[in-house]
Amino acid sequence: MTDVLGEVATRQIQWHVSPLMVALLYASMSAALVVFAYGFWRRIRVWRLGRPEVAWDHPWARLRRTLIDAGAQASVLRDRLPGAMHALIYFGFLVLFAATVVVFIDFDLGIPIMRGAFYLYFQSLTVDLFGLLLLIGIAIAAYRRYVLRPSRLEHGNRADALMLGWLALILVTGFLLEGMRIQVRHDPWASWSPVGYATGLASHGVLGSNATLKDVYPWLWVFHVFLWHGLLATIPFTKLIHMVTSPLNVYFANPGPAHGVVAPTNFEDADVKLGIRTPFDMSWRQLLALDACTECGRCEAACPAFAAGKPLSPKRVILDLRDHVRGAFPQLREAGSALGAGDETRAQEILQGMPPLAGGVIKPDTLWSCTTCRACEETCPVRIEHVPLIIGLRQNLAMEQAAVPSGVAEAMANLEARQHPFRGANASRTDWLAGLEVDQVSSLEEVRAVELVYWVGCAAAFDERAQLVARALVTVLQHARVKFAVFSQESCNGDVARRTGNEFDYSMLARANVEALNGAGVERVVTHCPHCLQQLRHEYEQFGGRYTVVHHSELVSSLIEQGRIRLAPGARERVTYHDPCYLGRYNREFDAPRRILDALAVERVEMPRSRTESFCCGAGGGHAFFDDADGGEKINAIRAREAAATGATTVVTGCPFCLTMLASGARAALSEERPLQARDFVELVADALID
């Protein structure tokens, strides 16, 4: 594009600065890049201390997710005000960086691209507006941090204020430089840079003349250059490192559907590690995640343990581990060098002199407060995986330090003696079948004669309330003429052992079950317990168990759609559905139970926290078998009040542990005037069957 005199739209780069100043530009840039590279290399050296982990598979799926979550800021924007604030800063910074690259291409590489329409539409108008948006984003960040002061943010860190002020000063000086140039040169394209043009008019009004503007310009230019290069150099040493580490962590995060799966322990290894004691026991990806944390506090706000006043903040777990690793870097580097030289003794001397991560850096009550619900992971904008890390720390407490809550020790003793974790249950696994005509299978020939195997689970085998669910499911399946049978060699799936860090007990149970299932040729399984579902569908794959496993909600919903289950229209009972963590967040099944409730023609109302944001019942992570840490209130009581607040008379769920917790929570939190019953949806189906 040209003006009336035929001049091509562009501007002079490095206007009115001396050769010495230009030399300072390149010298300071070189120094900043060296410091940046050194700082980032220090971080890489820390990550390399971790154990190996495969994270290069599924490259296109990983790249797509990174472009959506990190590139398009999709995960950040789920939280409106902080999401908008971060997006303004992120996209503003991105556009200004692109503008810097354009200058490099045009001036340093000699490729004339800052010309015509591109110069006007992008390098002038777009860059100007996005610079203003960036400044607005910084203002919102400052207002939110220092006026609104949400509790989930870290407060009292002067570096946060310094970073915001530093970024703002870079932008203000940049606009001042642009405005001075426009004003002094009478730029014919000034209207394409509205912010710079307005700044130039204001500068002229303050300083009084173009001559003064011209005198001030070169010194302000040098100051601006040093500001920007100084910021660049500090990035690896401040929280700004997340600009690099967060996209990396999003890329390397688990790409598959198997959420929350813990890496198996090889107990036959002579140098077996019993959980996470030192940073060397973490994977390189877990060490990277510590540096990826943005300190936004979303995980803390979503954590049911934190909401109940327990001594757990997922954010603080990550930050405390990060601060420990950074502070101990010299010792860790020395220990790593000793290991590299084959001096195991010296390395262990150094590591033994450091506090253990489990029980030292992170207190035991903090670790035992976790319900493994994955609410923290679901809301984390950079996909930090808190649960496998916490379970790894629990493993060290349980297997090396033998420091577990009393209920866990009792559950493990029951597992070892009776192959189930329930206290005082001496019945057999099949006593609940009394009066029901249900086959039991154990051989290849018997399994081939049925459509699918019903994996009952310990809860229905030994808990009287859960047995009602199992009997209701049997009734529904027989009504639909499904050929099924119970697996007579079933044992505890081991979930409670794995989630409480007792990996050795879990490994024995899992291997025995896989051997029995594979030996009988079992391929298709239905279970009403989401914890059994998680183990059979995902975690048994580590031991060679690969089965088609469905939750009973998926199966019953399908049978209704096929017309194999007919339901009588019932009263318009008002019900609310509670999403079990291990069915919803772990296995992404949200719709099948709701389809069943809709088929029952009940009045279904949703709680404010549902689906991916569902609030845990409090049973996960082994909490069904041991008490919460002292202090706070019961998680299940909080959830029961949420259910009652919808006006529902029944809270429906699809997990036997949720069923028990919600029922006890309702008794503890609600009065007789506000009764709330808890039922599994399959019980409602069994009640409504039409012959």
HEC per residue, 289-343: HHHHCCCCCHHHHHCHHHHCCCCCCHHHHHHHHHHHHHHCHHHHHHHHHHHHCCC
Cβ 351 vs Cβ 366: under 8 Å? no
Determine the Cα–Cα distance for residues 467 and 569; give it in Å rounded to an integer.
Answer: 26
pLDDT tier, 1 (very low <50, low <70, confident <90, very high otherwise):
low
Determine the Cα–Cα distance for residues 368 and 312; give it in Å rounded to an integer.
Answer: 9
> How do residues 504-518 score in pLDDT, each as one tens digit?
999 999 999 999 999
> Is-above-0.85 flag for pTM?
yes
Determine the Cα–Cα distance for residues 407 and 353; give it in Å rounded to an integer.
Answer: 32
Q: Which of 64-78, 386-400, 459-473, 647-661 has the lowest mean pLDDT?
A: 64-78
- Asked whether residue 49 carries a pLDDT value surpassing 60, the answer given is yes
Determine the Cα–Cα distance for residues 584 and 611; give it in Å rounded to an integer.
Answer: 6
pLDDT score of 4:
43
Determine the Cα–Cα distance for residues 686 and 691; give it in Å rounded to an integer.
Answer: 11
Q: Is 577 helix (H, G, I), strand (E, B) or coil?
A: strand
Q: Which of 137-141, 206-210, 386-390, 437-441 has the lowest mean pLDDT?
A: 206-210
Determine the Cα–Cα distance for residues 466 and 469; give it in Å rounded to an integer.
Answer: 5
Determine the Cα–Cα distance for residues 250 and 241; give it in Å rounded to an integer.
Answer: 14
Torsion of CA 644, 646, 647, 651, to 10 degrees: -60
- Asked whether residue 277 carries a pLDDT value surpassing 60, the answer given is yes
> How do residues 350-405 score in pLDDT, each as one tens digit?
989 999 999 999 999 999 999 999 999 999 999 999 999 999 999 999 999 999 99
Q: Give the E-state strand segments of 412-546 in sequence order.
A: 440-441, 452-455, 484-487, 524-527
Q: In angstroms, what CA-CA distances link 257 with 214, 252, 254, 261, 267?
A: 61, 14, 8, 10, 27
- Asked whether residue 194 carries a pLDDT value surpassing 90, the answer given is yes
pLDDT score of 27:
96
Which of residues 57 and 534 earns the better pLDDT score?
534
- Asked whether residue 573 carries a pLDDT value surpassing 50, the answer given is yes
